[in-house]
Amino acid sequence: MIELHEAGVVVSAPEGDTTILHPTSLALAECRISVIGGNGSGKSTLARLFNGLIEPSTGRVLVSPGGRVAGGRGSRTGAAAAAERAGGEGSAEREGSLAPPLDTARDGAAVRRAVGFVFTDASAQLIMPTVEEDVALSLRRAHPRKAERLAAARAVLERFGLEGLAERSVHTLSGGQKQLLAIATVLATDPAILVADEPTTLLDLRNARMIGELLMSLPQQVIVVTHDLELAARADRTLVVESGRVVFDGPPVEAIAHYRDRVAQP
């Protein structure tokens, strides 16, 4: 569960301060949430607030890793695990729904462990030479011993059907394989929430559908920013962003109709 309380983003530019996200209040509890809108409308800015990549200039963004998620799919074992990793001492308290939420401005590291973030361009996220090493990098904290870490990395690759690519250089992967690996590396640490910023934009139809299927099948709460209206329609709730504001928030069918209407207007 992610809550925005009058959270806004103002950036400094030579010509003066510019508001790129107006103060916004939201409680995001649905299992699948999509965010749509035109280029430059503020979708990525909003998404980056969710895991503290951007701190709000005004207001607050709160994350409850163990909080209730409406319409959950599958078991949510990751929520408790992420909360435990996030909290350090006294972390057991976070497993209960009464645990205080994390504040993205105050608890940045814990928030980033609880909220995984997948970028449009997977290449920017893959930094180690081989596929297996890249997944293992995510597991350094959970498995300090190398042998255990590599075994855990293999298990993650198997879960995502990537075991045959373990020794391959990440640079030799196709776009679809790279995006799948990027998602696998983020999910390796079992975050409670996954935010994906246009994860299918660079992919062909087959791979876009494969990634869409994966995102929709995860036990995590998933928030996906997308220009793919077919994918957006599969959410439980859709936010439409325009000119730095959430201008519609509701069922996907109505949200997409609203977006199409706005685009159709001269």
Ligand X SMILES: Nc1ncnc2c1ncn2[C@@H]1O[C@H](COP(=O)(O)OP(=O)(O)OP(=O)(O)O)[C@@H](O)[C@H]1O
Closest C-alpha to 59, from 17, 23, 29 = 23
Smaller CB separation from ligand X, 42 or 219:
42
Nearest approach, Cβ of residue 205 and ligand X (Å) = 20
Number of residues counted as binding ligand X (CB under 6 A) = 11
Nearest approach, Cβ of residue 207 and ligand X (Å) = 19
Smaller CB separation from ligand X, 44 or 185:
44
| Of residues 6-45, those binding ligand X (CB under 6 A) | 11, 13, 20, 37, 39-45
- What x-and-dash track marks residues 43-82 binding ligand X by CB under 6 A? xxx-------------------------------------
Can you tell me the distance from the alpha carbon of 84 to that of 89, in angstroms, rounded to the nearest whole number?
A: 9
Nearest approach, Cβ of residue 89 and ligand X (Å) = 35
Nearest approach, Cβ of residue 244 and ligand X (Å) = 7
Can you tell me the distance from the alpha carbon of 232 to that of 203, in angstroms, rounded to the nearest whole number?
A: 16
- All residues at 6 or more sequence positions from 201 whose CB lies less than 8 Å from its CB, including other chains: 120, 226, 227, 228
Q: Where are the beta strands (DSSP E) in the chain?
A: 2-13, 16-28, 32-37, 58-63, 102-103, 115-118, 193-197, 221-225, 237-242, 245-250
CB atoms within 10 A of CB 230: 13
CB atoms within 10 A of CB 26: 19
Smaller CB separation from ligand X, 10 or 152:
10
Give the distance, in angstroms, between the CA of residue 263 and the centroid of all CA atoms in the same chain.
26
Kindly list the strands in the beta sheet with 102-103, ordered across the sheet, starting from the edge strand earlier in the chain. 16-28, 2-13, 58-63, 102-103
- Residue with the closest Cβ to ligand X? 44
| Of residues 232-261, those binding ligand X (CB under 6 A) | none
Smaller CB separation from ligand X, 40 or 164:
40
- Looking at 218-251, list the stretches that DSSP marks H as alpha helix, in order from N- to C-terminal side: 229-232
Smaller CB separation from ligand X, 41 or 179:
41
Nearest approach, Cβ of residue 55 and ligand X (Å) = 12
For ligand X, the binding residues (CB under 6 A) are 11, 13, 20, 37, 39-45
